[in-house]
Amino acid sequence: MYTERVIEHFRNPHNMGKLEDYSAIGKVGNLVCGDVMWLYIKVEPDRSGRDIITDISWETFGCTAAIATSSMVSDLAKGKTIDQAIALTNQDVAKELGGLPPIKMHCSALAADALNEAIYAYLFQEGKEIPGALQRRHERIAAEIAALEKRYEAFADKVQR
């Protein structure tokens, strides 16, 4: 069912845990399927002043595919400029893992969404310009999360941060 790459990332996930001095956090979740992902990014300017994701980590409640895509998206985004990271898609994540079972493709979307949200949060708090595509994706993700949270309020009471 899963590719060797998926199993490898699931077995030894990269960049897992909470980043202590993160610049921004992206929280996405799909409790219908049981996946919740929090992605932390540390952004620092390089010598030419471009914003670079110098460190990244994540915490994920989810299945094998959710954990593997979390690991992969963190690998793909680490060291990239913000602009490069914005261009990463869920297709890129799935492709780098050698593909995902069709029913698990939403897990790669989740990982890409988490990165999107972390970058959005960073640009927003820094008062920087937010590209239109990023803004639209953020609005779509926020609407989905609001709908899910409403549906699963009971769940939120059960878990503690």
CB nearer to another protein: pick between 133 and 142: 142
Buried/exposed 119-137: b ≥16 CB within 10 Å, e otherwise: bbbbbeeeeeeeeeebeeb
CB proximity list for 48: less than 8 A, separation 6 or greater:
none
> In this structure, what DSSP letter does residue 33 have?
T
Residue with smaller CB distance to another protein, 16 or 130: 16
- Note if 107 is an active site residue: yes
**Rounded least distance, CB 59 to another protein, Å:** 4
| Residue 144 CB, nearest approach to another protein (Å) | 15
- Which residues in this chain contact another protein in the complex, by CB under 8 A? 10-11, 13, 16-17, 27, 31-38, 58-67, 103, 152, 154-155, 158-161
* DSSP assignments along 43-69, one per residue: EEE-TTS-EEEEEEEEEEES-HHHHHH
Least distance between another protein and beta carbon 83 (Å): 28
Q: Which is nearer to another protein, 18 or 128 (CB)?
A: 18
Question: Quick one: tokens of 51?
Answer: 């914003």
- Among 7, 16, 19, 33, the one annotated catalytic: 33
Please indicate whether residue 63 is annotated as part of the active site: no
Residue pair 77/85 in contact (Cβ under 8 Å)? The answer is yes
List residues with catalytic annotation: 33, 107
